[in-house]
Structure 1
């Protein structure tokens, strides 16, 4: 089965070689759409044998991605960014056999986005994204930013479309501190989201993305309204749980502890995904004394290595401890 990889770039010379090396284990059919690079991106792409097309940037990621889809000739299309790397969990032969027998129309994979100053396993944000799908002219991206395929897949194949998990994982470096600051990603994304709202109005997906962007900027108060709209009005959405988690965390950061516990309890009641994370978040919001919190921190720090989930819980606990100390919320029993 043939696979075309589609990438959009702009000044990605620092990341592109490693991305393309990871792709070559899968296919050598790469369509690269460049939206105005001033560095060595185009030369690197051509050296690796990519089919390169240059288009003007239109403040629209979906437009650029959909142009790439038009140029793809493979039976399957895989979309990836230059600051991402593919890690295959099977051989190329096994992968091709897998695609030739599947009934799925698309596949999602886990994406590990590194945050902080350096890429470390204990500082990752885990997410899932549809990256591989059958080449079909009716399946296209939508939205200017945080572009999405799911609605297009639903329209084409129905709400019961078969979307499976792919034996692959993606490593994403684009949210490291230096990258975000250099590219002013959050400012750009917020501007494009506002444009999207002006053109097409609000939607649960756009409100979720808006809340996440404000949270990423630590503008917790601005994140509350769009996230609350998702949590209150879009419970059936596939991103509802993530929206609830981001909302609960924003409440925690603002010291709105009862609201944090209330949102966490709503998710715990249905016992869905991220159950453990919400249980921990609720516990952090309900800790009342320094001694109980310090006891938990001691347990966490006594381990030589922590899973991403435990590390995140540790960070939450530590932030809560500092917050309570700063506001004088530590009771006399903790002294």
Structure 2
């Protein structure tokens, strides 16, 4: 399936009946969150209830939703199809409990249904999951969530259910539209993940016994056992998914992504990850995530120029596949890494140009703006750093303590340690745990001979960001104690 974003077709505007459909259990508050976000745009709400008949009665009544009791049949597609049988709307918007849409996107969906939909097309919306601890960003995927109410459209699969085969049989097209569905933070809850993984593993086993293994099922099983912390089995299932998937398909790409994550922590993982990336890039040569991944692996191996070229290709030409889970701001990450490796190669002015240009292209990127601030701090450009700080979103936490940290960090970058300390200490005591504060406060304390307090700051940093190697590297430089002044200055600069 090849996805493209839908153009703004000019169609007759009319009030088409829109049904919001959900398969629900006893997730009372999650259901409420979802309906609060889209209830105002729905002409009808259908809740297929596979849980306690009384658990959601009050919520349903508050939104005038129709509740359909249904016995769970160990099949997600069977449940969705059962819900479809009770829908009377011309168009259906699917949500899962806890998923929400912004007021702006909900209104845009309503307007889109009224004036732009094509009865022979199903629409893919972006579904974004919250950022997991230790990850570099939140992830998103394109999924068919807006569909016409057509009798031939039915879901398939006990798990990871899909409409795609049915849409193809009906001769329907699939287009992507830029509306976002945001998943609830429960996605990051470890207990919830374990429960879901155990349930999905059971469903995969049942479907394999019925119809045999497929790439879809192997990927689902790999994700499940990975959530259950069995990386070896995950690796095996992702390898099987690669073998079973169609060459060049989204499933093959997703299997390669899975292999890379499953290899983390394995013996000789880095070399295997590089080889896996190279194999995958022969099939998906411009995939932005693969290019950034191999750039990171090469950087770790010390191949800075090769890494820089990978990040440059990702930044300039990188593509994403909407049908697979991908980091939502991978373009910003590519630009950030390109600037870092360019700077490491001694091309400071070029690195600055890359960052400034990337920020123009992504003016709302907090990641890039923070990197620009750090760049200005490093070169002692106080006013420019503070000016960029003022452009951060107003809801940024502890913005005033961050402002103090920036003032102190600029002084520290100029080795004005005594002058820098009060600003950085104030920021730290006010609760700032930004990298820019921790890095320069630890460096300043060490330069002033206060090795133990400096180490305490770095240990705090390490505990907060266990996957970040910088506090560990800086801590090693601090161990010689009073002899570290020169080494610390070198690292900070």
TM-score between the two structures when normalised by the length of structure 1: 0.78
Residue 272 of structure 1: how far off its partner (Å): 5.5
- C-alpha distance in structure 2 between counterparts of 1:104 and 1:122, whole Å: 38
Relative to structure 1, the CA distance from residue 288 to residue 80 in structure 2 (aligned partners, 3 Å threshold; closer, same or farther) is same
Question: Structure 1 stretch 277-286 or stretch 69-78: which is displaced more?
Answer: 277-286
Matched, 1:237 2:273: no
RMSD of equivalent CA atoms: 3.5
- C-alpha distance in structure 1 between counterparts of 2:67 and 2:202, whole Å: 28
Alignment of 1:206-245 (within 5 A): 206-234=217-245, 235-245=247-257
The structure where helix makes up a greater share of residues is: 2
DSSP-derived class of the 2:41 partner: coil
Other-structure match for 2:215: 204
Alignment of 1:313-332 (within 5 A): 319=467
Quick one: which of 142, 150, 159 aligns to 1:136? 150
Question: Structure 1 stretch 275-284 or stretch 2-11: which is displaced more?
Answer: 275-284
After superposition, what is the alpha-carbon deviation per residue over 1:101-144, rounded to whole angstroms, capped at 9, x for unaligned? x3652111111111447xx9974221111111111122111111
Other-structure match for 1:331: none
Residue 31 of structure 1: how far off its partner (Å): 0.7
Other-structure match for 1:306: 367
- C-alpha distance in structure 1 between counterparts of 2:237 and 2:128, whole Å: 25
Alignment size in residue pairs: 303
- C-alpha distance in structure 2 between counterparts of 1:39 and 1:93, whole Å: 31
After superposition, what is the alpha-carbon deviation per residue over 1:233-279, rounded to whole angstroms, capped at 9, x for unaligned? 42243332222111122123324333311221133234456x23212
Matched, 1:72 2:73: no
DSSP-derived class of the 2:154 partner: coil
Relative to structure 1, the CA distance from residue 93 to residue 23 in structure 2 (aligned partners, 3 Å threshold; closer, same or farther) is closer
Matched, 1:96 2:97: no
Residue 216 of structure 1: how far off its partner (Å): 2.6
Alignment of 1:13-24 (within 5 A): 13-24=28-39
DSSP-derived class of the 1:20 partner: helix
Contact 1:215–1:246 (CA under 8 A) maintained in structure 2:
no
Residue 32 of structure 1: how far off its partner (Å): 0.5
Structure 1: give runs of 5+ residues left out of the alignment. Answer: 311-316, 326-335
Contact 1:284–1:320 (CA under 8 A) maintained in structure 2:
no
Matched, 1:149 2:163: yes
DSSP-derived class of the 1:188 partner: helix
Contact 1:84–1:171 (CA under 8 A) maintained in structure 2:
yes
- C-alpha distance in structure 2 between counterparts of 1:250 and 1:320, whole Å: 19
- C-alpha distance in structure 1 between counterparts of 2:29 and 2:110, whole Å: 30
Alignment of 1:272-291 (within 5 A): 275-286=287-298, 287-288=300-301
Quick one: which of 108, 120, 123 aligns to 1:107? 123
* Structure with more relative contact order (C-alpha pairs < 8 Å, separation 6 or more): 1
Relative to structure 1, the CA distance from residue 50 to residue 40 in structure 2 (aligned partners, 3 Å threshold; closer, same or farther) is same
- C-alpha distance in structure 1 between counterparts of 2:149 and 2:254, whole Å: 29
Structure 2: give runs of 5+ residues left out of the alignment. Answer: 1-15, 308-336, 342-354, 356-364, 372-464, 474-493
Residue 94 of structure 1: how far off its partner (Å): 2.8
Other-structure match for 1:247: 259
After superposition, what is the alpha-carbon deviation per residue over 1:88-111, rounded to whole angstroms, capped at 9, x for unaligned? 5354663234444x3652111111
After superposition, what is the alpha-carbon deviation per residue over 1:126-171, rounded to whole angstroms, capped at 9, x for unaligned? 11111111111221111112211112212222xxx42111231100
Contact 1:109–1:169 (CA under 8 A) maintained in structure 2:
yes
Residue 288 of structure 1: how far off its partner (Å): 2.9
* Greater C-alpha Rg: 2
Other-structure match for 1:3: 18
Relative to structure 1, the CA distance from residue 36 to residue 233 in structure 2 (aligned partners, 3 Å threshold; closer, same or farther) is closer
DSSP-derived class of the 1:170 partner: strand
Contact 1:3–1:29 (CA under 8 A) maintained in structure 2:
yes
Quick one: which of 188, 202, 206 aligns to 1:176? 188
Alignment of 1:52-71 (within 5 A): 52-71=67-86
Residue 228 of structure 1: how far off its partner (Å): 1.4
- C-alpha distance in structure 1 between counterparts of 2:284 and 2:240, whole Å: 21
- C-alpha distance in structure 2 between counterparts of 1:14 and 1:6, whole Å: 17
Contact 2:214–2:244 (CA under 8 A) maintained in structure 1:
no
- C-alpha distance in structure 2 between counterparts of 1:126 and 1:169, whole Å: 9
Matched, 1:189 2:200: yes
